[in-house]
Structure 1
């Protein structure tokens, strides 16, 4: 039985926090594409090279909402990485239970719970 997209996304964030790369790898399609303000449709190998090291300094994730429809889902969350807290939204496209595409939209930053204006 297929898992909900929200359950898959939650398990991915949990795996980042608990440093379980094998769980993340098992959830990603071989033809994964990842896009962010720093990355333009990078492949799976490049994703793990550039993005996985973030798990080492990721301290917390607070998922605020997940919207899913069909094989797509949006998640908005706050995360603390290396002592900095910020809010992002990610758009996921799935192929069955595997993540085929992720597009990240960077959001606001916070320090001690207070908004920090970016310059």
Structure 2
């Protein structure tokens, strides 16, 4: 089994994206998650990419993507107590509202194009 720890040592939110699935999990300051894969081969199981988004950074949000490089792309994410952490974990309400509004707008534009 391959395991990688992701720790938020910033003062704000850290959004951990599990790729290639595009799943988000939100870590509070000083929180640690473990990404676990069933992969036990010789190749790298994970790679990590950090990036800066000026709007996120001004809102106190940092981003990291954990890419599943080998094994099942449905890796398991757990907290420090070993509890399963699902997609959307601790996602702030204001982010849910913004993303929901953006999704609805995209659906309306798609429907208009089809009509």
Give the TM-score normalised by the residue count of structure 1. Answer: 0.31
| Structure showing greater Rg | 2
Greater RCO (Cα-Cα under 8 Å, separation 6 or more):
2
Determine which structure has the larger helix proportion and give its number.
1
